[in-house]
Structure 1
Amino acid sequence: MIDHIVLVKFSETTTQEQLQEVVDRFKALKDKLTGIVDLQAGLNFSEKSQGYQVVLSVRFENQAALEAYGPNPDHQAVAAYIREVGRVDSIVVDIKI
Structure 2
Amino acid sequence: MVDHLVFFAVKEGASAGEVEDLISSIRGLKNEVPGVVDLSVGEDFSGRSGEYTHALFARFEDAAGLQEYMGHPAHLAVVEKLGATTTGRIVADYEF
| Fold equivalence (TM over 0.5) | yes
Higher helix share: 2
Question: What TM-score comes out, normalization by structure 2 length?
Answer: 0.91
Q: CA deviation at 1:19?
A: 2.0
Structure 1 counterpart of 2:89? 90
Does the Cα contact within 8 Å between 1:69 and 1:75 map onto a contact in 2?
yes
5 Å-filtered alignment, 1:56-67, equals 56-67=56-67
Does the Cα contact within 8 Å between 1:19 and 1:54 map onto a contact in 2?
no
Q: Deviations over 1:21-73 (max 9, x none)?
A: 22111110011111111111111112111121121100001100101111211
SS at 1:94 equivalent: strand
CA distance in 2, matches of 1:4, 1:71: 14
Question: What TM-score comes out, normalization by structure 1 length?
Answer: 0.90
Change (3 A) 1:25 1:15: same
CA distance in 2, matches of 1:44, 1:16: 15
Q: CA deviation at 1:84?
A: 1.9
Give the paired residue count.
96
1:69 counterpart = 2:69? yes
CA distance in 2, matches of 1:25, 1:65: 19
1:8 counterpart = 2:8? yes
Does the Cα contact within 8 Å between 2:11 and 2:87 map onto a contact in 1?
yes
Divergent runs of 4+, >4 A? none
Structure 1 residues without counterparts, runs of 5 or longer: none
How much identity, in percent, do the aligned residues show? 31
Structure 2 residues without counterparts, runs of 5 or longer: none
